[in-house]
Structure 1
Amino acid sequence: MEQARLLRQAAAPSHRRRARGSPPRGDVRLTGLPPAYSATVEFHPLRGEGIDCALRLLQAGVSVELHQWPGTFRGSQAVLSAEVSQRQIAELAAALRRALARVTSSRPTQAGIPCPQLTR
């Protein structure tokens, strides 16, 4: 009896709210964020939220690279023998190289050595 009451209470709309500051909820200021890379897989219950978040970033003026991988599922990159997994990994590595190249080229140097910026 008590368990049923607790389940009903947990399922109430007031308990199903997303966390504060959640991009899918829409209560986060997205303007001015750095470029984003977003990859979604076809068979995942949150695929739509990932795509929506990328679109909202674009609408806020953020540069977004969005990839939708048809025929894939969460964790499918672990199947290293699959051609699509190899393409996913290669694309992610290329995006990371591009992002790191942008960061490295925009940082001040001291005697030719990149210096991290500690404050903004």
Structure 2
Amino acid sequence: MFLFDADCGFCTRCSELLERASAKGAYDVVAWQDADLEAVGLTPEQCQEASWFVSKDGSLHRGSDGIGRALREGAIGLRPVGVLLTLPGVRVLARAVYRWVARNRHLMPGASDKCRMPEGGR
């Protein structure tokens, strides 16, 4: 399951792209506000700070690591992109880019003031 912030227009648009790119039935793309967070071991605060991918085995993958994992488990044509995001050098860069985008998501296309990170957010 891929969890995103439905209060953020930018996050919603990105999750729609991920859902279209995923293999049918590989995983669900769900707003964290509609998910049973306690059942997967997450808090609303964690979900406000980043998107999450919950693997079938229950393991949690945050931010760019979660996007990479979702791509690896999705459509066969995008699996190499998911693998690329997990390579050591690329992973460091992907995490930095994700943090920057998360902090600035309110400035991205389709965003609104609701997209702002909570005070103290990373």
Q: TM-score range by the shorter chain?
A: under 0.3
Which has the larger strand fraction?
1
Which has the larger helix fraction?
2
Q: TM-score, normalised by structure 2?
A: 0.26
Q: TM-score, normalised by structure 1?
A: 0.27
